[in-house]
Amino acid sequence: MTLGEAPFTPRGDVVRWIEIPGTGTPVVYVHGLGCSGPASWIDTALRLGRPAIIVDLPGHGRSDHPRDFDYGLKDHAAAIAAVIGTLNVGAVDVVGHSLGGSVVIVLASDYPELVSSTVLVEPGIDAVVIAAGDIAAADEGDLLTDAGWERLLATEAPYRRADVQLTDPIALRRSAEGIARALNNTVVDLVRSLTVPTTILVGDYRTYRDQDQYPGLGINVEKLDGTGHFLMWDNPELFADAVSRSWARVSS
C-alpha cells in the first residue's frame, strides 16, 4: 500500500489517497458524506483485486479541510480530476457511493476524458428540500462549537461516528447542501446525458424520479436485495459481484 496526494486549491491544499496494488487497470473509489475512503472501500477493493485508488474527499478523512472552500459537487469533482491527472494513467473506472456517486456524475460530465465507466452506488441524483434538522441546514457557527458538533454527532449511528469525526464540520455541512441542491436540480440532467458506460446500484428502499427511463438511456440499474444505503457493508460479496458484472458489460 502506498500513499498519494494532489493539490485541489491554488494555495496547495491537498486531497489524499491510498493505493492498493492489484491486477489490471486502476479503479478510483469515492466515498460518501462524512465517510472516509479506507473505511468505505478497502474490503471491496481487495475482493475485486484491481489496483485501487481510494480517495478521501476534501474535508474528509486525511485530506485537507480549508474553511474557505465551497465543497460543492463541482469542487469535489475537480479534486478527483486532479487525482486522476496525477496518476497519469489515462481514463479510469470510477466507483462512487452516495455523495461520492453525485461527485462521480459531475466528474464524468465535466471530465469525460478521465472516466472509462462509472458505478454509482446510491448516488444523490434528485434534489431534495432542505428541512430544519438536516445537516445541510445546520448553522456553521454552531458546528464550530464543541456543543454543536457533539449534538450533530449524537444524531449519527454509532458505527458512523468514528468516520464523521474525521470530517471537518464546515465540509460536512456544505457537502450535504451540495447533495440536497443537486446543482439546482440539474444532476438528474447530467445523468441522462452521460456518455460513459454507467451502472447505478441501489438498495431496497431507493427509487429515483426518472429511474424507469434509465435503461432506455443505456444506464444499467440494479437493485441488490437485502441491502440499504451502505450496500458494500450490508452484503460485501453481493456488492462486489455486482460491480464485477458492471465492468464485464463494459468490456464485452
Per-residue pLDDT reduced to its tens digit, 186-203: 999 999 999 999 999 999
When comparing pLDDT for 159 and 71, which is higher?
A: 71
CB 119 within 8 A of CB 199: yes
Beta strand pairing call for 115-121 and 198-202: parallel
Asked if pLDDT for residue 252 goes beyond 70, the answer is no
Domains of the chain: 2-127+182-251 (3.40.50.1820)
The predicted-structure confidence for 208-246, as pLDDT tens digits, reads as follows 999 999 999 999 999 999 999 999 999 999 999 999 999
What pLDDT does 124 receive? 97
Give CA–CA dist 103/186, Å, rounded.
13
Q: What share of the chain is helix, strand, coil (3-state, %, to 5)?
A: 45, 20, 35
Instruction: Render pLDDT for 98-135 as a digit per residue (tens, 0 to 9).
Output: 999 999 999 999 999 999 999 999 999 999 999 988 99
The three cell numbers of residue 109 are: 460530465
